[in-house]
Structure 1
Amino acid sequence: GLLDGWTGAQFDGVGIGHTRWATNGLVSEGNAHPHIDCTGQLSLVHNGIIENAAGLRCELAATGHTFLTTVDSEVLCHLIEYERNRCGDLVRALQNALARVEGTWALAVLEQGTGRIGLAANGSPLLVAHTSHGDFAASEIAAIADWVDGFRVLDDGDVVELVNGWWNRSGTAVPPPVASRCRWVGHDVELNGYTDCMAKEIDEQPEAAARVLDELVDGIANGAIWNQLGLPPFERLRVIGCGTSLNAGQVIGNLTRELGGVPVSATVASEAAAEVPDEHQLCLAISQSGETTDVLRAVESPAMGEAPLLALTNNPRSTLARLADAVIGCPAGPQIGVVATKTFACQVISGVALMLSALVAMNRLSRASATGIVDDLRRVPDQLAAAGAVAKCVVPQIADELVSADGFIFIARGSGLPYAAEGALKLQELTHRWAEHYPAGELKHGPLALVDFGTPVVVVDNGDPKLAFDIAEVQDRGGRVITIGSAGSEIPVATVPVAPWGPLESAVVMQILARNLALALGHDVDKPRDLAKSGTLE
């Protein structure tokens, strides 16, 4: 159970906790949640960022409040304390305090003595569940899946007492929203003999891919997936995302351009607000959690204009899903490790199925062509499994040779390029070493200066004949070339010819490479340095 091996004080039935360090402020025990007020009567945990924390801190300090940290979350606790001293009630104090706050939050505040817990949400996910095992609040369902059948998601502005009531931000009592059923269960998030979540989630990719295909494959060649969304035809596609989700979006965009002749742009979410609105485009916003702040701000910006918004997310009850005109899922199951693995594969497959269906529905791709591509798509789960088996045999020895390398280059051309980007990202996140990706033809325009004797250069080979010349450039300068491709490659996993979505199998290889290197360097592969589970800050 949860308390196996626990040697601390016994719990009295009520409590709050946080599994992350402070994003705002140094990573230290003093800055970690929960934060407390001056008297120690209020304890608070918080996700999000308080934009006017500095001004509130000055006001509160002037009235005698003493702060122990520089963390913005601590300001909330003192502000609630100030309001509670004025009105005498925790929930009313929470409402009054938040009326003065600018920013985002999902918070829980515990009142000593009474054991009351106040909850509030604004721009950050928080859900509650009332069960026979007790009352729960959590930022995502995976945390409480063992005990919960149904749950309710707080809307922006909601203030709730965990066991008694539901109010909006103005303090008016409102009926609670309809409960959602829990899709995940406890064994989905257990290690089941694996040493880490990443290893488990890498191995879950074939099954997860098959699950996504089972849901979508029958609606591709007849255009049904697209038609059921109720969106208008589009002349251009704009992809918005961050990190792994943006890489998946690049794959989806490349396929849409190649097969349908649709102009495609892909924008980093944190820069998307500067784009020019275009009502003739479809905006495809991709976020595993559906709560990535940069993505939410992008789709709420004037740059969206009148263009329809389609969300691709692993969480159909997320904020992004609620903002979108339509939603397409990528049901990968819970992604517990901070570094995305199976969700990348599922985003690619789901997005590919969606765009193939859209191209058929818009008469940009024939049903016959789509049917042939669907046959190839059905083979993906087996291809992922085979790639994993090969990589587990070949990669450990390669990783041993690369442990002392302090920098890595990933190169590819065409459909392989987003996978090179994803491979470099995985290596950065997990090993804390420098890793960059480049179009292979760009090496000679500058990055080749980085290649020295022994410099590891990972080549994601999609069969482009020009790659041979790029590889020769690296070898002439003593670089250590690691090719991921078809038969004859150092890591032979790719199918021939390469599918329109590119060498998806290579992603499995690079996940295993990054994990092996990280473990050899002594790093925690489930909780990489300085990274949080979901991008909750701008």
Structure 2
Amino acid sequence: MCGIVAYIGQRKASDVIIKGLKRLEYRGYDSAGIALAQEGKINVFKKKGKVADLESFMEGKNYSGEIGIGHTRWATHGAPTDENAHPHYSQSGKLAIIHNGIIENYDSLKQDLLAKGHEFKSDTDTEVLIHFIEDIKDNVGCDLAEAVRLALTKVIGAYAIAIISEDEPNTMIAARKGSPLVVGVGKDEFFLASDASPIIEYTNEVVYLNDLELAIIKDGELTIKAVESDEVQTPYIQKLELELEAIEKGGFEHFMLKEIYEQDKTIRDCMRGRLNALEGQLVLGGIHNYQQNIINAERIIIIACGTSWHSGLVAEYMFEEFARIPVEVEYASEFRYRNPVIKEGDVVIAISQSGETADTLAAMEMAKERGAIVLGICNVVGSSIARVSHEGVYTHAGPEIGVASTKAFTAQLIVLAMIALKLGRRRGTITEGRFRELLIELDQIPEKVKKSLDLDEQTKEISAVFKDAKNFLYLGRGYNFPVALEGALKLKEISYIHAEGYPAAEMKHGPIALIDEDMPVVFIATRDSSYDKVVSNIQEVKARKGKVIAIVSEGDSLIPGIADYVIEVPHTFEGFMPLVSVIPLQLLSYHIAVMRGCNVDQPRNLAKSVTVE
């Protein structure tokens, strides 16, 4: 959600910022803007719509200057309008701010400022914050950095901010709490961004700000201070491993299609250095220090949102089958609001692609306070979830630019499968022989995923038949039930077709009333322990004239005689089947969305990194 890019140095700031905002378009947004320090003044250019609309608006205007801040906004307080777009001025117009997050006590602050004669031009909480900062600066008589620090001690909520000032022209102030912010360190220049993608072409040295840290960039120097104590912190500079090519489309029409096609590679990358099938070895260094705690745990709680929640549902089956540990899977957004029972020694696994999901972070903090061991599974090195966790495992899927997660889902499943197998072997709930068999099968998954990608053209043909459907139903059993949920979510996200996922057995408890000749029903019907039951469910749909699309195991001779359309995927152990069966569902959603003229990489109203609750 939202994107921040800022620059201070010798380059033309607007060029760096506009290019950077385009790199962040995947995060989801509805307006864009930029503020530039120009000849002793701060000039703001902002526009509802895309970054391209902002560029058109800026044509013919002076956008020189070597200091600037830029933003893409995902609306919270106030509709997507030119006035509500960032950056925002202070009361005097001498300060400008960009902000990701939500200031929860903005209204009480605003009422105090209104009483003092302040006038506001937007409906946003962000404009209130910059007015509040200036009010403190004027009344206390301090510099901008101290005014920001003092203001943030009074603010309730989440924020990543960047501020520039007319009165301090060689200064930029930034801070974060609950929303990501990274500082790129170049030669006599600095960059700010919500993630590393806008920075990588200029520098590979970065500082990840921690919560409640203030970054002061002044006269070519970077100083980090604690918001609450004013104590100076030593900046920890890290090397980025991200390659510029990884955030380009690489010849594909969309990032989503590129990322679907990367999955055989990303799964292999995730296993590299961890799994040696021939020698029967599985090494997970990221959870080494707490391995015994996990082995001894009486239960595991998995917390996640969206697609990551679906991967958690698959993991529930894996952990209970392999390790025989009871598992609960919770929506992170609901978990901390229902006063859950958490015992000391419980293991909480938090899953997030971005590592910045606000609901998941809040749930993790609560679990830690109550004595749980918290493990993080995420994709982004240096992200908040990686730092809040006691330990964890990176998925190594590489940047995922498309808003709808694809390769993140399969990478999470691989990590969870490896953890479950490791626990099962250490707990003695699977034999050495079975353990080795499963490692060999897991090692073959990348090739089976690659073979599933060869079904793209067939899937495209089926998509053409159903692109105008109004509703879809996705059904699966066992390990494939979460895949049904994930398939329905993908279709909703990018094609805007209403879709629901259900356990196949639950169809008769309500959804069967929807089935008629206009209802496409997608069955994940691979050969597993529930196969015969799923075949019966297909018969029930066909008896009501529903249109059946079936994902089946290679060589299936029964279902092709019943279903209207059949897609055969390579067979594997049923616990690993979601890694294979999900591929045609991703392709189906993609092609339907493209045929409907939808913006596949940036679906409406959605954001890649959900950094507000």
TM-score by length of 2: 0.83
Q: What secondary structure is seen at the aligned counterpart in 2 of 1:16? A: strand
Match of 1:64, SS state, is coil
Match of 2:126, SS state, is: helix
Matched residue count: 537
2:566 is aligned with 1:511: no
Q: Distance in 2 between matches of 1:252 and 1:213?
A: 17
2:191 partner letter: F
Q: Matches of 2:290 and 2:368 in 1, distance apart? A: 22
Partner of 2:234: 176
1:434 to 498, 504, 508: 498
SS of 1:526's equivalent in the other structure is coil
Q: What SS does the corresponding residue of 1:104 show, helix, strand or coil?
A: strand
Which one of 463, 468, 473 corresponds to residue 399 of structure 1? 463
CA distance in 1: counterparts of 2:587 and 2:524, whole angstroms: 14
Is the contact made by 2:358 and 2:610 (CA closer than 8 Å) also made in structure 1? yes
- 1:311 matched to 2:376? The reply is yes
Q: Which amino acid aligns with 1:400?
A: A
Give the stretch that moved more between structures: 341-350 or 271-280: 271-280
Residue range with higher mean Cα deviation, 161-170 or 450-459: 161-170
1:75 aligns with 2:128: yes
Runs of 5+ unmatched residues, structure 2: 1-14, 20-51
CA distance in 1 between partners of 2:576 and 2:250 (Å): 32
Q: Given the superposition, is the C-alpha separation of residues 455 and 76 from structure 1 closer, same or farther in structure 2, using an over 3 Å criterion?
A: same
Is 1:116 the equivalent of 2:176? no
Q: Which stretch of structure 1 is more off in the superposition, 290-299 or 311-320? A: 311-320
User: Which of 323, 328, 331 matches 1:265?
Assistant: 328
| Contact 2:342–2:367 (8 Å) recurs in 1 | yes
- The 3-state SS of whatever aligns with 1:258 is helix
Distance change >3 Å, CA 345–CA 121, structure 1 → 2: same
SS at match of 2:190: strand
Aligned match of 1:228 in 284, 288, 312? 288
CA contact (8 A) 2:256 2:404 kept: yes
* CA deviation map 1:389-448 (0-9, x unaligned): 21x211222222212211111100001011111111111111122111000000111111
Provide Cα deviations, 1:45-66, integer angstroms capped at 9, x if missing partner. Answer: 1111111011111111111111
Corresponding residue of 2:313: 250
> 1:291-339, CA deviations, whole angstroms, 9 ceiling, x for partnerless residues?
1111111112259732211111112422222221111110111111111
User: 2: distance between equivalents of 1:207 and 1:497?
Assistant: 18
Counterpart Cα distance in 1 of 2:83 and 2:71: 14
Deviation at 1:279, TM superposition (A): 3.3
| Secondary structure of residue in 2 paired with 1:334 | coil
Contact 1:196 1:526 in 2 (8 A): yes
> What is the distance in 1 between the residues matched to 2:256 and 2:77?
26
Match of 2:210 in 1: 155
Aligned-pair CA distance for 1:223: 5.6
Cα 1:221/1:362, change in 2 over 3 Å: farther
Task: Give the deviation of 1:375 after TM superposition.
Answer: 0.8
Whole-angstrom distance in 2 between the partners of 1:46 and 1:383: 44
Q: What letter corresponds to residue 586 of structure 2 in structure 1?
A: Q
Q: Which deviates further from its counterpart, 217-226 or 347-356?
A: 217-226
**Deviation (angstroms), 1:162:** 2.7
Secondary structure, aligned partner of 1:17: strand
2:546 is aligned to: 479
Give the aligned partner of residue 419 of structure 2: 354
What displacement does 1:138 show?
Answer: 1.0
Residue 197 of structure 1 pairs with residue 264 of structure 2 = no
Shift of 1:491: 4.2
Q: Which moved more, 1:406-415 or 1:192-201?
A: 192-201
Aligned residue among 131, 146, 150 for 1:96? 150
Q: Does 1:12 align with 2:76?
A: no
Are residue 470 (structure 1) and residue 537 (structure 2) matched? yes
In structure 2, what residue type is equivalent to 1:261? R
- Partner of 1:483: helix, strand, or coil? strand
1:275-354 superposed matches below 5 A: 275-301=340-366, 305-354=370-419
Which residue does 2:49 correspond to in 1? none
Shift of 1:278: 2.9
Pair 1:366–1:347, CA change in 2 (3 A): same
* Distance (Å, rounded) in 1 between the aligned partners of 2:457 and 2:107: 54
Q: Aligned partner of 1:157: which letter?
A: L
1:297 counterpart letter in structure 2:
A
1:109 partner SS:
strand
Q: CA deviation at 1:130?
A: 1.4
Q: Answer whether contact 2:185 2:207 (CA < 8 A) is retained.
A: no
Q: In 1, Cα distance between the equivalents of 2:578 and 2:398?
A: 23
Structure 1 stretch displaced more, 440-449 or 216-225: 216-225
Q: Which of 78-87 and 170-179 deviates more?
A: 170-179
Residue 252 of structure 1 deviates from its aligned partner by: 1.6
Query: CA offsets, 1:466-515, max 9 Å, x none?
Result: 11111111112121111112235534343335432333222221111111
* Amino acid across the alignment from 2:543: D
Rounded Cα–Cα distance in structure 2 between residues aligned with 1:20 and 1:210: 36
Shift of 1:171: 5.6
Pairwise CA RMSD of aligned residues?
Answer: 2.1
User: Would you say the 8 A contact 2:264–2:450 is kept in 1?
Assistant: yes
Conserved? CA contact 1:360–1:367, under 8 Å? yes
Secondary structure at the counterpart of residue 25 of structure 1 = coil
Q: Distance in 2 between matches of 1:304 and 1:255?
A: 28
Deviations 1:114-153 (A, max 9, x none): 1521101111111112112721111111221111211111
Question: How many Å separate the matches in 1 of 2:228 and 2:351?
Answer: 33
SS of aligned partner of 1:452:
coil
Q: Aligned partners of 2:237 and 2:572: how far apart in 1?
A: 47
Distance 1:452 1:24, change over 3 A: farther
- Structure showing the higher strand proportion among its residues: 2
The answer to whether residue 520 in structure 2 is matched with residue 461 in structure 1 is no
Q: What letter is aligned with 1:510?
A: L
Question: Which of 469, 481, 499 is 2:574 aligned to?
Answer: 499
Match for residue 103 of structure 2 among 21, 27, 50:
50
- Check whether the contact 1:256–1:262 (CA below 8 A) recurs between aligned residues: yes
Unaligned runs of 5+ in 1: none
Q: Does 1:142 align with 2:210?
A: no
5 Å-filtered alignment, 1:399-418, equals 399-418=463-482
What code does the residue aligned with 1:230 have? Y
* 2:484 aligned with 1:424: no
Matched letter for residue 483 of structure 1: A
C-alpha distance in 2 between matches for 1:389 and 1:405: 25
Where does residue 238 of structure 1 map in the other structure?
301
- TM-score, normalised relative to structure 1: 0.95
What CA distance in whole angstroms lies between the structure 2 residues aligned with 1:78 and 1:23? Answer: 19
Distance 1:54 1:112, change over 3 A: same
Cα distance in structure 1, aligned partners of 2:458 and 2:270: 29
Candidates 132, 138, 143, aligned match of 2:187:
132
Equivalents in 1 of 2:318, 2:121: separation in Å? 53
Counterpart in 1 of 2:44?
none
* 2:479–2:574 Cα contact (<8 Å) kept: no
1:88/1:397 Cα in 2 relative to 1: closer, same or farther (>3 Å)?
same
Cα distance in 2 for partners of 1:265, 1:304 equals: 19
Q: 1:106 aligns with which of 160, 170, 180?
A: 160
Describe the shift of the 1:11–1:199 C-alpha distance in structure 2 as closer, same or farther (beyond 3 A): farther
Q: Cα 1:78–1:409, aligned 2, differ >3 Å: closer, same or farther?
A: same
Contact 1:241 1:269 in 2 (8 A): yes
Q: For 1:302 and 1:379, how far apart are their aligned partners in 2? A: 36
Moved more, 450-459 or 154-163: 154-163
- Among 512, 517, 542, the alignment partner of 1:448 is 512
